Amino acid sequence: MSLNQTEQQQTIDDLKRNFTLSGLTLEQVANDLMTTPARIENILNLKIESIEEPWILRNYLTEKLAEIGKKAEFTVLVGDYHRLWFLNSQKIDHRLIG
């Protein structure tokens, strides 16, 4: 399942807004998710290798924001990804990027 152009832009905006709100650096996120800063930047811009990657970053940002008492807001990546047949939920659960 793919996103239309409007949904893609909204997802990019949501990811970037929540990333900025987190106060984290690309290096911190990359280190936590065992990847590179360039890979995180690509995901922020939806230049992805797998459709699970934005969900992994979404979940990570949601968790980090909750730790500092803030609430992540997403408009497209919503709901229980375990129920979306086209996603590999184990890959998301184990934060497997790339």
pLDDT tens-digit series, residues 50-88: 999 999 999 999 999 999 999 999 999 999 999 999 999
Question: Could you give the CA distance from residue 44 to residue 56 in angstroms, rounded to a whole number?
Answer: 11
Range of the domain at 72: 5-93
Q: What total of structural domains would you count in the chain?
A: 1
User: Token pair of 71, please?
Assistant: 């609430």
What confidence tens digit (pLDDT) does each residue in 27-55 have?
999 999 999 999 999 999 999 999 999 99
What pTM value is reported for the model?
0.95
Question: Does the residue 15 lie in any domain?
Answer: yes
Cα(23)–Cα(68) distance, integer angstroms:
10
Report yes or no on 38 lying in a domain.
yes
Instruction: List the structure tokens of 56.
Output: 């992994």
Q: Is the residue at 74 inside a domain?
A: yes
Q: Which two tokens stand for residue 19?
A: 């990333």
Residue 98 lies in a domain: no
